Structure 1
Amino acid sequence: MIELDAEDNKLLILARGAMGRTGGSGGAAVRDLDGRTYAAGEVGLAALRLTALQAAVAAAVSSGAEGFECAVVVAGKFSDPGVAAVREVSPSARIIFTDAKGAVFEMLEGPVEGDPATRPGIPEGFDLETESEVFE
Protein backbone atom coordinates (compact mmCIF):
# COMPACT_ATOMS: atom_id res chain seq x y z
CA MET A 1 0.00 0.00 0.00
CA ILE A 2 1.31 3.45 -0.92
CA GLU A 3 1.43 5.93 1.95
CA LEU A 4 1.02 9.64 1.24
CA ASP A 5 2.94 12.40 2.97
CA ALA A 6 0.96 14.97 4.99
CA GLU A 7 0.60 17.46 2.12
CA ASP A 8 -0.58 14.88 -0.39
CA ASN A 9 -2.93 13.37 2.20
CA LYS A 10 -4.46 16.85 2.62
CA LEU A 11 -5.22 16.85 -1.11
CA LEU A 12 -6.84 13.43 -0.74
CA ILE A 13 -9.06 14.70 2.08
CA LEU A 14 -10.03 17.77 0.06
CA ALA A 15 -10.81 15.68 -3.04
CA ARG A 16 -12.94 13.21 -1.08
CA GLY A 17 -14.74 16.15 0.58
CA ALA A 18 -15.51 17.70 -2.80
CA MET A 19 -16.83 14.37 -4.03
CA GLY A 20 -19.09 14.10 -0.99
CA ARG A 21 -20.36 17.68 -1.20
CA THR A 22 -21.31 17.39 -4.85
CA GLY A 23 -22.71 13.89 -4.59
CA GLY A 24 -20.73 12.99 -7.70
CA SER A 25 -18.84 9.83 -8.45
CA GLY A 26 -15.42 11.48 -8.20
CA GLY A 27 -13.40 14.32 -6.74
CA ALA A 28 -10.03 15.94 -7.29
CA ALA A 29 -7.67 18.43 -5.72
CA VAL A 30 -4.51 20.15 -6.92
CA ARG A 31 -1.70 21.99 -5.13
CA ASP A 32 -0.05 24.85 -6.98
CA LEU A 33 3.58 25.88 -6.79
CA ASP A 34 2.78 28.36 -3.99
CA GLY A 35 1.16 25.63 -1.86
CA ARG A 36 -2.41 26.79 -2.47
CA THR A 37 -4.98 24.03 -2.90
CA TYR A 38 -8.05 23.78 -5.09
CA ALA A 39 -10.66 21.01 -4.86
CA ALA A 40 -13.62 20.21 -7.06
CA GLY A 41 -16.23 17.63 -7.91
CA GLU A 42 -17.60 16.80 -11.30
CA VAL A 43 -19.64 19.41 -13.18
CA GLY A 44 -22.58 17.89 -15.01
CA LEU A 45 -24.60 20.74 -16.47
CA ALA A 46 -26.31 20.50 -19.84
CA ALA A 47 -24.15 23.39 -21.03
CA LEU A 48 -20.90 22.37 -19.29
CA ARG A 49 -19.35 19.02 -18.44
CA LEU A 50 -16.06 18.78 -16.55
CA THR A 51 -14.38 15.95 -14.73
CA ALA A 52 -13.42 16.72 -11.15
CA LEU A 53 -9.76 17.10 -12.18
CA GLN A 54 -10.65 19.47 -15.03
CA ALA A 55 -12.73 21.56 -12.60
CA ALA A 56 -9.92 21.68 -10.02
CA VAL A 57 -7.38 22.69 -12.70
CA ALA A 58 -9.76 25.34 -14.05
CA ALA A 59 -10.27 26.77 -10.55
CA ALA A 60 -6.52 26.91 -9.98
CA VAL A 61 -5.61 28.43 -13.33
CA SER A 62 -8.43 30.99 -13.13
CA SER A 63 -7.06 31.98 -9.71
CA GLY A 64 -3.59 32.61 -11.12
CA ALA A 65 -1.81 29.31 -10.49
CA GLU A 66 1.23 29.08 -12.73
CA GLY A 67 2.06 25.45 -12.09
CA PHE A 68 1.25 22.38 -10.04
CA GLU A 69 3.21 20.24 -7.61
CA CYS A 70 0.62 17.51 -7.24
CA ALA A 71 -2.92 16.43 -8.09
CA VAL A 72 -5.07 13.78 -6.44
CA VAL A 73 -7.92 12.12 -8.32
CA VAL A 74 -10.47 10.12 -6.33
CA ALA A 75 -12.44 7.47 -8.22
CA GLY A 76 -11.30 8.91 -11.53
CA LYS A 77 -10.05 7.48 -14.78
CA PHE A 78 -6.56 7.32 -16.25
CA SER A 79 -8.08 8.73 -19.44
CA ASP A 80 -9.40 11.80 -17.59
CA PRO A 81 -8.80 14.84 -19.84
CA GLY A 82 -7.78 16.70 -16.69
CA VAL A 83 -4.52 14.70 -16.74
CA ALA A 84 -3.62 16.41 -20.02
CA ALA A 85 -4.54 19.78 -18.48
CA VAL A 86 -2.23 19.15 -15.50
CA ARG A 87 0.55 18.04 -17.87
CA GLU A 88 0.06 21.12 -20.07
CA VAL A 89 0.67 23.41 -17.10
CA SER A 90 3.25 21.25 -15.28
CA PRO A 91 4.67 18.23 -17.15
CA SER A 92 6.46 16.95 -14.03
CA ALA A 93 3.57 17.26 -11.55
CA ARG A 94 2.77 14.12 -9.57
CA ILE A 95 -0.75 12.75 -10.17
CA ILE A 96 -2.12 10.33 -7.59
CA PHE A 97 -5.11 8.09 -8.31
CA THR A 98 -7.16 6.58 -5.49
CA ASP A 99 -10.31 4.55 -5.24
CA ALA A 100 -13.46 6.08 -3.72
CA LYS A 101 -12.30 5.12 -0.22
CA GLY A 102 -8.96 6.86 -0.65
CA ALA A 103 -6.67 3.86 -1.19
CA VAL A 104 -3.86 4.84 -3.57
CA PHE A 105 -3.49 2.52 -6.57
CA GLU A 106 -1.32 4.61 -8.91
CA MET A 107 1.09 7.50 -8.67
CA LEU A 108 2.25 9.07 -11.92
CA GLU A 109 5.52 10.97 -11.73
CA GLY A 110 6.20 13.08 -14.80
CA PRO A 111 5.03 12.38 -18.35
CA VAL A 112 3.67 8.87 -18.92
CA GLU A 113 4.40 6.88 -22.04
CA GLY A 114 2.14 4.06 -23.16
CA ASP A 115 -1.11 2.91 -21.66
CA PRO A 116 -1.27 3.54 -17.89
CA ALA A 117 -3.74 0.65 -17.56
CA THR A 118 -0.89 -1.77 -18.33
CA ARG A 119 1.25 -0.50 -15.45
CA PRO A 120 1.80 -2.68 -12.38
CA GLY A 121 -0.16 -1.94 -9.21
CA ILE A 122 -3.67 -1.93 -10.67
CA PRO A 123 -5.85 -3.02 -7.74
CA GLU A 124 -7.89 -6.18 -7.73
CA GLY A 125 -11.47 -5.44 -8.76
CA PHE A 126 -10.41 -2.53 -10.97
CA ASP A 127 -12.38 -2.72 -14.23
CA LEU A 128 -9.99 -1.77 -17.03
CA GLU A 129 -12.84 -1.36 -19.50
CA THR A 130 -14.55 1.40 -17.49
CA GLU A 131 -11.47 2.38 -15.47
CA SER A 132 -13.42 2.34 -12.22
CA GLU A 133 -13.44 0.19 -9.15
CA VAL A 134 -16.11 -2.48 -9.14
CA PHE A 135 -18.05 -2.68 -5.87
CA GLU A 136 -20.15 -5.70 -5.01
Structure 2
Amino acid sequence: MARSARARTGAAEGAAVRDTDGRTYAATTVALPSLQLTALQAAVAAAVSSGAEGLEAAAVVTASTEVDADSVAAVRDLTAGAPVLRADASGAVQETVVG
Protein backbone atom coordinates (compact mmCIF):
# COMPACT_ATOMS: atom_id res chain seq x y z
CA MET A 1 0.00 0.00 0.00
CA ALA A 2 2.79 2.43 0.88
CA ARG A 3 4.58 1.78 -2.40
CA SER A 4 1.38 2.15 -4.44
CA ALA A 5 0.42 5.41 -2.73
CA ARG A 6 3.87 6.85 -3.41
CA ALA A 7 3.86 5.76 -7.06
CA ARG A 8 0.32 6.99 -7.67
CA THR A 9 1.02 10.53 -6.46
CA GLY A 10 4.73 10.88 -7.22
CA ALA A 11 5.30 11.88 -3.59
CA ALA A 12 8.68 11.74 -1.88
CA GLU A 13 7.44 9.03 0.50
CA GLY A 14 4.59 6.59 0.87
CA ALA A 15 3.63 4.97 4.16
CA ALA A 16 1.16 2.54 5.65
CA VAL A 17 0.25 1.58 9.20
CA ARG A 18 -1.78 -1.36 10.50
CA ASP A 19 -3.80 -0.77 13.65
CA THR A 20 -4.47 -3.29 16.41
CA ASP A 21 -7.86 -4.11 14.85
CA GLY A 22 -6.15 -5.12 11.57
CA ARG A 23 -7.18 -2.05 9.58
CA THR A 24 -4.56 -0.52 7.29
CA TYR A 25 -4.13 3.16 6.45
CA ALA A 26 -1.91 4.53 3.67
CA ALA A 27 -0.72 8.06 3.00
CA THR A 28 1.95 10.05 1.22
CA THR A 29 4.04 13.08 2.03
CA VAL A 30 1.94 16.23 2.50
CA ALA A 31 3.74 19.38 1.35
CA LEU A 32 1.37 22.34 1.42
CA PRO A 33 2.30 25.93 2.23
CA SER A 34 0.48 25.70 5.57
CA LEU A 35 0.88 21.98 6.36
CA GLN A 36 3.86 19.63 6.11
CA LEU A 37 3.65 15.98 7.15
CA THR A 38 5.86 13.04 6.43
CA ALA A 39 4.03 10.11 4.86
CA LEU A 40 4.22 8.18 8.12
CA GLN A 41 2.84 11.11 10.12
CA ALA A 42 -0.04 11.36 7.63
CA ALA A 43 -0.76 7.61 7.88
CA VAL A 44 -0.74 7.78 11.68
CA ALA A 45 -3.07 10.80 11.54
CA ALA A 46 -5.46 8.86 9.28
CA ALA A 47 -5.42 5.94 11.71
CA VAL A 48 -6.03 8.12 14.75
CA SER A 49 -8.82 10.06 13.04
CA SER A 50 -10.50 6.70 12.32
CA GLY A 51 -10.34 5.68 15.97
CA ALA A 52 -7.18 3.57 16.09
CA GLU A 53 -5.81 3.23 19.60
CA GLY A 54 -2.63 1.33 18.77
CA LEU A 55 -0.50 0.12 15.88
CA GLU A 56 0.86 -3.33 15.04
CA ALA A 57 3.39 -2.10 12.46
CA ALA A 58 4.33 0.74 10.16
CA ALA A 59 6.11 0.88 6.81
CA VAL A 60 7.57 3.72 4.79
CA VAL A 61 8.83 3.66 1.21
CA THR A 62 11.48 6.31 0.72
CA ALA A 63 14.73 7.09 -1.06
CA SER A 64 16.15 8.28 2.26
CA THR A 65 18.74 6.19 4.08
CA GLU A 66 16.86 6.45 7.37
CA VAL A 67 13.36 6.92 8.73
CA ASP A 68 12.74 10.50 9.83
CA ALA A 69 12.79 10.84 13.64
CA ASP A 70 9.47 12.72 13.64
CA SER A 71 7.91 9.85 11.69
CA VAL A 72 9.09 7.30 14.23
CA ALA A 73 7.88 9.57 17.04
CA ALA A 74 4.36 9.64 15.54
CA VAL A 75 4.26 5.82 15.59
CA ARG A 76 5.66 5.74 19.15
CA ASP A 77 2.91 8.11 20.30
CA LEU A 78 0.47 5.24 19.75
CA THR A 79 2.60 2.14 20.37
CA ALA A 80 6.07 2.02 21.87
CA GLY A 81 7.14 -1.28 20.35
CA ALA A 82 5.65 -1.35 16.85
CA PRO A 83 8.27 -2.07 14.18
CA VAL A 84 8.83 0.60 11.54
CA LEU A 85 10.03 -0.85 8.24
CA ARG A 86 11.93 1.28 5.73
CA ALA A 87 11.80 0.09 2.14
CA ASP A 88 13.26 1.34 -1.12
CA ALA A 89 11.23 2.18 -4.22
CA SER A 90 11.15 -1.49 -5.27
CA GLY A 91 9.59 -2.42 -1.93
CA ALA A 92 12.67 -4.21 -0.60
CA VAL A 93 13.00 -3.73 3.16
CA GLN A 94 16.23 -1.91 3.97
CA GLU A 95 15.84 -1.41 7.72
CA THR A 96 13.55 -2.23 10.63
CA VAL A 97 13.40 0.28 13.48
CA VAL A 98 12.20 -1.34 16.71
CA GLY A 99 11.41 0.05 20.14
When the two structures are superposed, what TM-score results if normalisation uses the length of structure 1?
Answer: 0.68
SS of the counterpart of 1:39? strand
Match of 1:85 in 2: 74
Quick one: distance in 2 between partners of 1:41 and 1:60? 13
Pick closer, same or farther for the CA change 1:18–1:80 going to 2, 3 Å.
farther
Equivalence map 1:85-124=2 (5 Å)? 85-109=74-98, 111=99
- Segments of structure 2 that go 5 or more residues without pairing to the other structure are none
Equivalence map 1:1-136=2 (5 Å)? 14-75=1-62, 76=64, 77-109=66-98, 111=99
Percent of paired sites with the same residue: 58
Quick one: distance in 2 between partners of 1:97 and 1:104? 6
Which protein, 1 or 2, shows the higher relative CO under an 8 Å CA cutoff with sep ≥ 6?
2
Q: Identify which range, 31-40 or 16-25, moves more after superposition.
A: 16-25
Match of 1:114 in 2: none
Quick one: distance in 1 between partners of 2:35 and 2:9? 15
When the two structures are superposed, what TM-score results if normalisation uses the length of structure 2?
Answer: 0.92
Aligned-pair Cα RMSD in Å: 1.1
- Segments of structure 1 that go 5 or more residues without pairing to the other structure are 1-13, 112-136
Higher-Rg structure is: 1
Quick one: distance in 1 between partners of 2:74 and 2:83? 13
SS of the counterpart of 1:100? coil
The answer as to whether partners of 1:39 and 1:56 remain within 8 angstroms in 2 is: yes
> What is the CA distance between 1:90 and its match in structure 2?
0.1
